[in-house]
A = this chain, B = another copy of it.
Amino acid sequence: MVDVCMVSVAKGRQQKIEHDECRHSGDISCVQPSYKQVEDFLLQADNLCIKRKQRFTDLRKQVLSLICRSEQPLGAYALLDLMKDAGRSAAPPTVYRALDFLQEQGFVHRLASNNTYLACAHPQQQHEAVFLVCKQCGATQELHTDGIYKAVESRAKKVSFKVEHASVEVVGLCAHCRAA
């Protein structure tokens, strides 16, 4: 099994590359896995759980799968609805616990600006990310760029603040919606 990283290498075009190749440089934009890549993504999560001695249960797999297949980040209650549609009706704590697990494993991110969850483009490693949230269509891109976090770290250091988690959420218009 090879780690898989979904990247968009040019406008709209997506390419699956191996983890070793993915250096998170400033020149690629990492995005949510496309529908066809979901299976790879779930397999990868599965392998990471084995490696980390974590249990990738049916519930967790289902929640992650639903998030992956969504075009947009999903809220907890939207997930509950989708689970009901899929024949598994659950109460809020169930989905919140699954989401907590998936976040701890780095498989999903939570967007504080709109209370939603989306699949992480790079489950292999811990990282910070920048999210570009289109206020029109809701589509959200995950960018990786050292520059922003280095700037944050540097500023925090000046006031002796110990950074644990930096969340950068950018609301605006995506390329597609700008054109339309």
Q: Which residues of A line the B interface, CB within 8 A?
A: 8, 11, 26-27, 29, 112-113, 130, 132, 134-135, 141, 143, 145, 147-148, 151-152, 154-156, 158-175, 178
How far does the Cβ of A27 sit from chain B's closest Cβ, in whole Å? 8
A163 touches B159 (CB 8 A): no
A178 touches B151 (CB 8 A): no
A172 to B159, CA, bound (A): 12
Query: Could you say how many copies of this chain the assembly holds?
Result: 2
A11-B160, A148-B155 given. 8 additional CB < 8 A pairs?
A: A132-B156, A132-B161, A141-B159, A147-B151, A148-B152, A164-B172, A166-B169, A168-B168
A168 to B145, CA, bound (A): 14
Which residues of the partner chain B approach A168 to less than 8 Å between Cβ atoms? Answer: 152, 166-168
Which residues of the partner chain B approach A166 to less than 8 Å between Cβ atoms? Answer: 168-171
A151 to B148, CA, bound (A): 6
Q: List 12 A-B contacts (CB under 8 A).
A: A29-B159, A112-B112, A132-B159, A147-B155, A148-B148, A148-B152, A161-B173, A161-B174, A161-B175, A165-B170, A166-B169, A167-B168
B162 touches A26 (CB 8 A): no
B159 touches A143 (CB 8 A): yes
A163 touches B156 (CB 8 A): no
A132 to B157, CA, bound (A): 11
Which residues of the partner chain B approach A27 to less than 8 Å between Cβ atoms? Answer: 158
A92 to B165, CA, bound (A): 31
Q: Indicate the member of A143, A155, A171 with the most B CB atoms within 10 Å.
A: A155
Q: Please give me the residue from chain B that is nearest to A165 by CB atom.
A: B171
Which residues of the partner chain B approach A160 to less than 8 Å between Cβ atoms? Answer: 11, 174-175, 178
